[in-house]
Amino acid sequence: MMNVFDLFKRRSSAPVARERLQVLLAYERRNRSQPDLVSILREEIMAVIAKHVQIDQDYLQVSMDRGETMSTLEIDIQIPNKSAVPMAIAG
Amino acid sequence: MGKVVVVTSGKGGVGKTTSTAALGAAVAKTGKKVALVDFDVGLRNLDLIMGAERRVVFDLVNVIQGTAKLSQALIRDKRVDTLFLLPASQTRDKDSLTEEGVGEVIDKLRSVFDYVFCDSPAGIERGAQLAMRFADEAVIVTNPEVSSVRDSDRIIGLLDARTMRAEQGEQIAKHVLVTRYDAGRAARGEMLSIDDVLEILSVPLLGIIPESQDVLRASNLGAPVTLSEPLNTAAKAYIDAARRLEGEDLPVVVPFERKGFLDRLLGRRAA
């Protein structure tokens, strides 16, 4: 059983590669197309959060709504409960 | 007015320099005037691949700084007399290149040559951005492997944002050249397939160069594979890619089908 499973796993590494790339590049392209200010803010906010809790990059959404006289910056951070505990104590 | 083609990839070691030499030589062999420009200042290698390493006197940096004329720095190939090389400097660093200087050199080359191939350094920084800056077209050299495809995607982003054409609101024509393709491994699902690469990058395919000992041998001998062994599989793939670059509508055959059939027929070992 194990051997058959291993063999199967080894043979199908290309689909895994494709899927990982698709997810990663979708994320990187989204970042690239954002205006510079938003990506800078995004990185810095991520760095601040990372000092205290470990979160996935997907859990942080930063977007800028540009209005005529004023723009709105929207920051949405999701912190899973389990990752907040150990690091918060350490920090 | 000649066409300026940047050969780029982001990642190092995927075959930019080999492909620049092979494509340039293939185009020059059809009678077109071709200049190959090495932008890898400090780590030049195109001279070595072209077998011209002992003929370099002046280089791109000399021309930009005015210490040599363009005509003095261009090295004519000994095998194809419409093929020229403008080497990079070995001793300076990449900051010796200025955008204005590169622009002037490219303009002059464009007025004399039918094709100007710019061999980009690896990376996405200044050197790579200068190599692509004045290009009309781009050949993105990619290996069917995750890190190479990811870096190609970054480079495509730069081509669409940082080139002169992009800034003027024009399109830069992009082509993917898949190199070091191993048909057997792709068939066994161990390597990204051509369809995977094209779907992910969504850039049209210029050609597929099979992994081949002949390419290494050509480099050892200092000759583009399209000149030294024009009949072998990799050289043919480069020659076809060069024809597509010149606008010919030539279907791309994925090596697996061709190799499997022909090799069985001729009892040859896979190249």
Can you give the pLDDT at residue B271?
A: 42
Q: Quick check: A17 and B186 CB within 8 A? A: no
In this prediction the ipTM stands at: 0.75
Q: Is residue A4 part of a domain?
A: no
Q: Check if B200 contacts A (Cβ < 8 Å).
A: yes
Percent of chain B with pLDDT over 70: 94
- Mean pLDDT, chain B, whole residue set: 92
B78-90 pLDDT tens trace: 999 999 999 999 8
Residue A6: inside a domain: no
Residues A11, B189: C-beta atoms closer than 8 Å: yes
- Return the beta strands (E) in chain B as ranges: 3-8, 34-38, 75-76, 83-86, 115-119, 137-142, 173-181, 205-210
Q: Tell me how far apart the alpha carbons of residues B125 and B148 are, in angstroms, rounded to a whole number.
A: 16
User: Is residue A37 included in any domain, yes or no?
Assistant: yes
Number of domains in chain A: 1
Nearest residue of B to residue A20, measured between CA atoms = B146
pLDDT higher than threshold 50 for residue B158: yes
Q: Look at residue A91 and tell me if it is in a domain.
A: no
Domain that holds residue A24: 18-80
Is the CB of A36 inside 8 Å of chain B's CB atoms? Answer: no
Residue B71 has pLDDT above 80, yes or no: yes
Give A83's Cβ-side CA count (13 Å radius): 12
Asked which of A37-41, B59-63, B106-110, B249-253 is least confident by mean pLDDT, the reply is A37-41
Q: Does B209 touch chain A (CB under 8 A)?
A: no
> How does pLDDT run across A75-87, given as a tens digit for each residue?
998 888 765 555 5
- Residue A42 lies inside a defined structural domain of this protein: yes
pLDDT at B61 over 80: yes
Tell me, yes or no, whether A33 lies in a domain.
Answer: yes
Q: What percent of chain B has pLDDT over 90?
A: 85
CATH number where A43 lies: 3.30.1070.10
Give the span between the Cα atoms of B15 and B229, in whole angstroms. Answer: 18
- Which has the higher per-residue pLDDT, A7 or B150? B150
* CATH number of this structure's domain B3-267: 3.40.50.300
Q: What is the pLDDT of residues A5-24, one digit of tens each?
A: 555 555 578 888 999 999 98
Is the pLDDT at B145 greater than 50? The verdict is yes
Model pLDDT, residue A91: 41
What pLDDT, in 10s, does the model give residues B202-253? 999 999 999 999 999 999 999 999 999 999 999 999 999 999 999 999 999 8
Q: Which two tokens stand for residue B206?
A: 């210029």
Instruction: Report DSSP state, residue B253.
Output: P
Q: What is the mean pLDDT of chain A?
A: 76
Residue type, A87: M
Determine, for residues B153 and A25 on separate chains, whether the beta-carbon distance falls below 8 Å.
yes
The whole-number pLDDT of residue A54 equals 84
pLDDT of A21: 92
What is the structure's pLDDT at A90? 45
Question: Which residues in chain A have their CB less than 8 angstroms from residue B149's CB?
Answer: 21
Query: Stretch B25-52: mean pLDDT, rounded?
Result: 96
Residue A76 in domain? yes
